């Protein structure tokens, strides 16, 4: 019988991880409304660029290289996209700031699921949702003499 260690099993299950779009995993509740005059831009603009575009930086998250900007004048999303596409390397984006609410884990027994915390499962869900993966868990850790042992044991099938 082939036995894999838990680490080997985990590596086998996640060896082909690909980043996933979190909007596919999370239920996003958005009214479609935008926060007028606010834009999310994946480009750290210089003060000269912000002045030229008529925007100011409200916040910057260096960990993911995304900033929140506010228009000082009336600036449209299409104008910003056009202006930044001429300056950027092509991988930057500009989007209107939209309020969304994400779904949360609502399992009433979540506090008892310590294994999720040990595996840091919520971080893992950022890379894979498990779609297309079949996992089998074979637990042979039976203590025939323990106090919780049932009265009868069946021999079972020998594959």
Do residues 128 and 18 lie in contact, with contact meaning Cβ atoms separated by under 8 Å? yes
Kindly indicate the confidence band of residue 1, based on its pLDDT and cuts at 50, 70 and 90.
Answer: very low
Mean pLDDT of the 56-68 span: 89
> Considering the entire predicted model, what is its pTM?
0.46
Looking at the chain, list the stretches that DSSP marks H as alpha helix, in order from N- to C-terminal side.
Answer: 6-14, 22-25, 47-53, 77-87, 114-119, 121-124
Report the distance separating Cα 48 and Cα 57, nearest Å. Answer: 12
Report the distance separating Cα 40 and Cα 84, nearest Å. Answer: 12
pLDDT of res. 135: 79
**H or E stretch including 39?**
strand 38-41
Question: For 31-99, CATH number?
Answer: 3.30.70
Mean pLDDT of the chain: 73
Cα end-to-end distance, the chain, whole Å: 9
Break the chain into its structural domains and give their ranges: 1-20+105-159, 31-99
Mean pLDDT of the 26-55 span: 77
Kindly indicate the confidence band of residue 116, based on its pLDDT and cuts at 50, 70 and 90.
Answer: confident
pLDDT of res. 59: 92
């Amino acid at each position: 019988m082939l036995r894999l260690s838990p680490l080997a099993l985990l590596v086998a299950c996640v060896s082909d991880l690909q980043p996933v779009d979190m909007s596919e995993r999370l239920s996003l509740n958005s009214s479609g409304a935008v926060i007028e005059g606010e834009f999310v831009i994946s480009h750290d603009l210089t003060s000269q660029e912000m002045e030229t575009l008529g925007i100011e930086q409200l916040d910057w998250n260096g960990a993911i290289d995304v900033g929140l900007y506010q228009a000082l004048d009336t600036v449209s999303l299409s104008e910003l996209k056009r202006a930044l596409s001429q300056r950027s390397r092509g991988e930057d984006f500009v989007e209107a700031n939209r309020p969304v609410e994400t779904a949360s884990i609502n399992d009433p027994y979540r506090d008892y699921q310590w294994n999720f915390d040990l595996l840091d499962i919520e971080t893992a869900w950022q890379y894979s949702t498990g779609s297309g993966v079949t996992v089998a868990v074979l637990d042979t850790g039976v203590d025939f003499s323990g106090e919780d042992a049932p009265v009868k044991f069946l021999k079972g099938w020998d594959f």
